[in-house]
Chain A
Amino acid sequence: QSVVTQPPSASGTPGQRVTISCSGSNSNIRSNYVYWFQQLPGTAPKLVIYRNDQRPSGVPDRFSGSKSGTSASLAISGLRSEDEADYYCAAWDDSLRGWVFGGGTKLTVL
């Protein structure tokens, strides 16, 4: 059971906006930055959002992140087929003294 929870799946049609939630606690999401990773099959994770809402260079502005209290969200607008992937949130946990990852959300583009 992950300390940080995500829905196991999400889906949308091309052009739609989808959001993926990430629920944690005071010791992780409330207190620290949230990161979002995209992972395509057989590849290493790729950072798409860092420090709650910052986009690395090269990541399309269709990707956005937000945080409120003990929850965070990743939004993808103008959904494209290449967005189909697994998405993970992560945050440092002050109580565990380590990084915690959500269980991952498999995004399907219908």
Chain B
Amino acid sequence: EVQLLESGGGLVQPGGSLRLSCAASGFTLSTYAMSWVRQAPGRGLEWVSAIGSSTYYADSVKGRFTISRDNSKNTMYLQMNSLRAEDTAVYYCAGGSTYSLEDYWGQGTLVTVSS
């Protein structure tokens, strides 16, 4: 069964760091384009970052977040540094064989940035 499972969310203080993981099963993540998408409480969807042959970032996270993947673990990561209150959101990972929003989505992991 194809699945994306996010983990690593939690409560962190402003200025702190957190690393999210997105573990894939049922397909080879290294051959897919992958994205992180977030949704702040009561708000809409916001694309955060993508990885394929290159990496891409939304302006709101550029310089603070880093996307990567470990092919041996079939897992994608989002390293989040210098976290701000406005980064509070449910973070979803998504992947597609050609376009990163197209095939699979995870169930999300909640990140709360608060003192």
Chain A residues with CB under 8 Å of chain B are 2, 33, 35, 37, 39, 44-47, 50-51, 86, 88, 90, 92, 96-104
Contact = CB atoms under 8 A, between A and B. Distances in A.
B99 interface: yes
A81 to B, nearest CB: 23
Interface string B76-115: 0000000000000000100000011110011110000000
Contacts of A39: 45
Contact of A37 (B45, B50, B59): B45
Given A44-B106, A45-B92, A88-B44, A98 B99 contact: no
Given A35-B101, A99-B35, A99-B101, A45 B47 contact: no
A64 B37 CA distance: 24
A86 B39 CA distance: 13
B70 interface: no
